[in-house]
């Protein structure tokens, strides 16, 4: 394979998959060729985006779409608008998306895209102008049966609306080409909540399997304060858990009250984030402490669950050790590749150290993002299905389907790990997720002549 050193995030994602696939590949060496092929995107689109600022001056950004794999269906994955966007990050996200989408059980391929455009500090008019300019080129390469982008960091309902309007004008068709649309013009109920809710539904199965327990009085550390973190926090609170923290790029808000965050607090924070402000704008009336520049993982002496829900590589090896020391028994990624490889090694080593299911103290049961946070793209898939049928399901129907998908995803990861992975009486969910997703995609690719 080519040297991937200039693409560190992508190389990290490939390495993580490769290492955990090794027990399976040792038994089925013919799949090594499939692993070599699947690492190369089917297509990468890069383009210039020029748009006009409110003062009349010209601005230019880079636009991307990585159409990684279509073996299971149309390319599916978000559009990220953030200054840090580059090809390495989008390739890592697209690569992960292939296997994440496979784990939902829905017919979706994997892709990712976006731009180094920063929506922060821009007016609605400037964001509209950018979205129309961005879609002028992207619209040539996507479609309801080809590639169906969605929202991601920096791309919320407003941006999806502008992009959909642009696509409709350029292509003269009203089709389900984007997901995350407005509820009254083709969107699905539960889509905003889906990633956070799905994350909690997945961990619910982990709690039940490892300790025969539930969320009641579980102390939960959550990073991030965006869509995923907000809805994960609300669902944890609804199920009886105690949310200890939320964070953003400026620092961490830690609950002083033993009851943790309340639903009303999450609503206030959601409004702050809608206004694109920092968490420093939140006034907690003395119930919270602010930790400038800190992530939540080292700030408490005791916790039960950790849900990284901000961005990639947000839990280091040292922070993983701090979580173990604080008694955290469960960690599941709401963000994509939220843990560094060093952190994953800490969690996996703790799992391997357990010799009996009757004695699981000292373990941190770890779930990777491609499994634990696949609820968002799952409901995007359900939105595609509703669009195809010109139907709209009720919130209760969508939520029930989401819960079923997350339970099936967990069982697939667990049973695949038991069948193929090695090391420890507690199954490796990361190995199970990687092997199950890879095998499903690789078999479809072989049937279609992509490798032999």
CA-wise closest residue to 80 among 128, 44, 41, 134: 134
| 92-106 average pLDDT score | 96
241-261 tens-digit pLDDT: 999 999 999 999 999 989 999
* Domain end position, chosen among 373, 390, 418: 373
Residue 81 pLDDT: 97
**285 — pLDDT class (breaks 50, 70, 90):** low
Residue 391 maps to a domain = no
**157 — pLDDT class (breaks 50, 70, 90):** very high
| 353-363 average pLDDT score | 78
- State yes or no: pLDDT of 1 exceeds 70: no
For the chain, the domain total comes to: 2
216 & 163 share domain = no
208 & 328 share domain = yes
132 & 214 share domain = no
Other Cβ atoms less than 10 A from the Cβ of 269: the count is 24
Residue 361 pLDDT: 78
- State yes or no: pLDDT of 29 exceeds 60: yes
**Domain at 122, CATH number:** 3.40.50.10860
244 & 358 share domain = yes
Residue 2 pLDDT: 47
Residue 166 maps to a domain = yes
294 & 255 share domain = yes
| 385/393 Cα distance (integer angstroms) | 10
| Burial class of residue 304 (count of CB atoms within 10 Å of its CB; 0-12, 13-18, 19+) | buried
**359 — pLDDT class (breaks 50, 70, 90):** confident
pTM: 0.92
| 375/400 Cα distance (integer angstroms) | 12
Residue 108 pLDDT: 98
Residue 160: give the domain boundaries. Answer: 10-17+28-171
247 & 341 share domain = yes
81 & 153 share domain = yes
154 & 212 share domain = no
- Measured over the CA atoms of residue 415, residue 421, residue 426 and residue 432, the dihedral's sign is negative
**70 — pLDDT class (breaks 50, 70, 90):** very high
333 & 231 share domain = yes
72 & 116 share domain = yes
Residue 93 maps to a domain = yes
Residue 423 pLDDT: 62
Question: Which of 97-111, 133-147, 344-358, 379-393 is the least confident region?
Answer: 344-358
Q: How many helices (H) and strands (E) does the chain have?
A: 14, 12
Residue 224 maps to a domain = yes
| 209-221 average pLDDT score | 96
| Burial class of residue 9 (count of CB atoms within 10 Å of its CB; 0-12, 13-18, 19+) | buried
Residue 5 maps to a domain = no
Percent of the chain with pLDDT over 70: 98
Active-site option among 76, 112, 181, 440: 112
* Domain end position, chosen among 373, 389, 419: 373
- State yes or no: pLDDT of 263 exceeds 90: yes
Between the CA atoms of 383, 387, 392 and 395, what dihedral angle is there, to the nearest 10 degrees?
Answer: 0
| 212/400 Cα distance (integer angstroms) | 22
- State yes or no: pLDDT of 99 exceeds 50: yes
Q: CA separation (Å) from 221 to 67, 185, 247, 309? A: 34, 36, 10, 10
Residue 283 pLDDT: 80
Q: Is 352 a catalytic residue?
A: no
- State yes or no: pLDDT of 182 exceeds 60: yes
Residue 310 maps to a domain = yes
| 84-105 average pLDDT score | 96
**420 — pLDDT class (breaks 50, 70, 90):** confident
238 & 97 share domain = no
242 & 289 share domain = yes
E strand map for 184-227: 219-222
**Domain at 198, CATH number:** 3.40.50.720
Percent of the chain with pLDDT over 90: 89
| 187-213 average pLDDT score | 96
Residue 31 pLDDT: 98
* Domain end position, chosen among 373, 406, 440: 373
Residue 189 maps to a domain = no
- State yes or no: pLDDT of 165 exceeds 50: yes
Residue 156 maps to a domain = yes
- State yes or no: pLDDT of 267 exceeds 50: yes
Q: Is 143 helix (H, G, I), strand (E, B) or coil?
A: strand
| 370/13 Cα distance (integer angstroms) | 11
Residue 355 pLDDT: 77
| 44/343 Cα distance (integer angstroms) | 31
């Amino acid at each position: 394979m080519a040297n991937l050193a200039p693409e560190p995030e992508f190389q990290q994602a490939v390495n993580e998959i490769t290492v955990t696939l090794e027990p399976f590949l040792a038994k089925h060496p013919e799949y090594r060729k499939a692993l070599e092929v699947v690492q190369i995107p089917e297509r990468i689109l890069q383009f210039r985006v020029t748009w006009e600022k409110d003062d009349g001056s010209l601005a230019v950004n880079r636009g991307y779409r990585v159409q990684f794999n279509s073996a299971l269906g149309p390319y599916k994955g978000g559009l990220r608008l953030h200054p840090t966007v580059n090809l390495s990050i989008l390739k890592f996200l697209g690569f992960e998306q292939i296997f994440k989408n496979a784990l939902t059980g829905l017919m979706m391929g994997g892709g990712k895209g976006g731009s180094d455009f920063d929506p922060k500090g821009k007016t609605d008019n400037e964001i509209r102008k950018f979205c129309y300019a961005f879609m002028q080129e992207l619209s040539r390469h996507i479609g309801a049966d080809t590639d169906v982008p969605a929202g991601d960091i920096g791309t919320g309902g407003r941006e999806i609306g502008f992009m959909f309007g642009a696509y409709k004008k350029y292509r003269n068709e009203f089709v389900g080409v984007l997901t995350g649309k407005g509820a009254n013009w083709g969107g699905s109920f539960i889509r905003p909540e889906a990633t956070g809710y799905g994350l909690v539904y997945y961990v619910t199965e982990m709690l039940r399997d490892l300790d025969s327990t539930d969320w009641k009085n579980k102390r939960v550390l959550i990073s991030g304060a965006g869509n995923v973190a907000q809805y994960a926090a609300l669902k944890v609170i609804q199920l009886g858990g105690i949310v200890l923290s939320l964070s953003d790029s400026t620092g961490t808000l830690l609950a002083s009250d033993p009851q943790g965050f309340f639903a009303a607090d999450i609503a206030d924070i959601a409004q702050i984030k809608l206004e694109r402000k920092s968490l420093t704008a939140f006034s907690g009336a003395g119930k919270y402490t602010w930790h400038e520049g800190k992530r939540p993982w080292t700030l408490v002496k005791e916790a039960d669950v950790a849900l990284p829900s901000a961005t990639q590589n947000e839990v280091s090896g040292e922070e993983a050790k701090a979580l173990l020391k604080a008694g955290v028994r469960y960690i599941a990624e709401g963000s994509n590749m939220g843990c560094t490889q060093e952190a994953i090694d800490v969690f996996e080593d703790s799992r391997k150290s357990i010799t009996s299911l009757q004695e699981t103290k000292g373990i941190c049961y770890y779930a990777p993002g491609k499994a634990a946070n696949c609820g968002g793209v799952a409901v995007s898939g359900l939105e595609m299905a509703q669009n195809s049928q010109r139907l709209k399901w009720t919130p209760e129907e969508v939520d029930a389907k989401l819960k079923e998908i997350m339970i099936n995803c967990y069982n697939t990861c667990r049973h695949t790990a038991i069948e193929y992975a090695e090391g420890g009486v507690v199954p490796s969910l990361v190995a199970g997720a990687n092997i199950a997703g890879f095998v499903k995609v690789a078999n479809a690719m072989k049937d279609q002549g992509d490798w032999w």
